[in-house]
Amino acid sequence: MYKRILVPTDFSKNALNAVRYALDLYAKLNCEFYFLNVFKLENYTTDALIIPEPGSQEFEIAKAKSEENFVKLLDMLALHHDNPKHIYHTIPTFTFLSAAIKKTISNKDINLVVMGTKGASGAKEVIFGSNTVKTMEIVSECPVLAIPADIRFSPPKEIVFPTDFKSGFKRKELNYLIEIAKMHGSTIRILHVSKKQILKPEQEENKILLDNILDEVAHSFHSLTEKNIADSITTFVESRDSDMIAFINQRHFFFEKIFTKPLIKEIGYDATVPILALH
């Protein structure tokens, strides 16, 4: 059975880097990759009263340019990433990125979304503050993997999994984390950051549950007594030279704390490892 992976791209260097990372991460699995490009029309803005229609000159020129870039991308992949386990599809479209991603996930039964953390402009405000975080917010059907700019793939030997143990865990929501760990022989480091070291009884129960779910992969538990969650995670990852951060996207706790604007800069702009948002 093929895993279906969606990779939005604007054909920038950073988007290409995300493509390469995804191909290498899942090199051992049968996968169908769907490359999605939301093309732009030079003279069209969201304030325009008339939306360009398919068949109009401006629309067809923009679509043709998108398709031309897809040809170049596939030629490059054929040259450098010729993997018989992988099948490639291209989707050029004119709409909002979030809508295009949601539609493709639904229509193609996508299992995972992989995105670069910078757009073609490279501007800081569109790294984690815009498209990537928005995708993590709106996509609840599957995990989202964000790849920092310029990072080169190496098998993830250590994956940091921050949690507060306040919510229960389900094996299904951790499947992708376990799958990646199995594929690459990764060790999962569960990190608890809190002002207090002592866990409440329900937290202890959830910790035991997580221990049982992860019994088939190498894992260990760690704790830090700190006020700033983002700083603690960053310090932990950097001190251990970890390869990835994975977390369960629970908006009421971790997501809001990590991806509020002050913390985006700390973990997003200066990210040195991929971040996997699980659901």
Q: What percent of the chain has pLDDT over 90?
A: 55
Would the pLDDT of 263 be above 50? no
Q: Give the number of other Cβ atoms within 10 Å of residue 197's Cβ.
A: 9
* Lowest mean pLDDT across 31-40, 89-98, 190-199, 211-220: 190-199
Beta bridge partners of 191: 162, 222
Containing domain of residue 173, as a range?
Answer: 158-278
Asked whether residue 47 falls in the same domain as residue 66, the answer is: yes
Asked whether residue 97 falls in the same domain as residue 180, the answer is: no
Residue 35, in any domain of the structure: yes
Would the pLDDT of 203 be above 90? yes
Gap between the Cα atoms of 39 and 19, Å rounded: 18
Q: Give the number of other Cβ atoms within 10 Å of residue 265's Cβ.
A: 14
Gap between the Cα atoms of 214 and 217, Å rounded: 6
- At residue 123 the predicted structure's pLDDT band, cuts being 50, 70 and 90, is very low
Question: Is 206:168 a contact under the CB 8 Å cutoff?
Answer: yes
DSSP secondary structure letters along 170-238: -TGGGHHHHHHHHHHT-EEEEEEEES--PPPHHHHHHHHHHHHHTTTS-EEEEEEE-S-HHHHHHHHHH
- What is the pTM assigned to this prediction? 0.87
Asked whether residue 96 falls in the same domain as residue 164, the answer is: no
Asked whether residue 27 falls in the same domain as residue 142, the answer is: yes
Q: What integer is the mean pLDDT of 117-139?
A: 60
Residue 55 sits in a domain whose CATH number is 3.40.50.620
Residue 153, in any domain of the structure: no
- At residue 260 the predicted structure's pLDDT band, cuts being 50, 70 and 90, is very low
Model pLDDT, residue 251: 56
Residue 152, in any domain of the structure: no
Asked whether residue 120 falls in the same domain as residue 62, the answer is: yes
Asked whether residue 21 falls in the same domain as residue 97, the answer is: yes
Model pLDDT, residue 130: 60
CA distances from 45 to 34, 61, 67, 253 (A): 27, 17, 22, 36
Condensed to tens digits (0 to 9), the pLDDT of residues 206-231 reads 999 999 999 999 999 999 887 777 77
Condensed to tens digits (0 to 9), the pLDDT of residues 141-150 reads 999 998 988 7
Residue 259, in any domain of the structure: yes
Condensed to tens digits (0 to 9), the pLDDT of residues 13-56 reads 889 999 999 999 999 999 999 999 998 776 655 555 556 667 67
* CA 277, chain centre distance (Å): 6
Model pLDDT, residue 119: 54
Closest CA to 184 of 12, 5, 24, 33: 24
Asked whether residue 13 falls in the same domain as residue 103, the answer is: yes
Q: What are phi and psi of 193, to 5 degrees?
A: -110, 125
- At residue 272 the predicted structure's pLDDT band, cuts being 50, 70 and 90, is confident
Q: What percent of the chain has pLDDT over 70?
A: 83
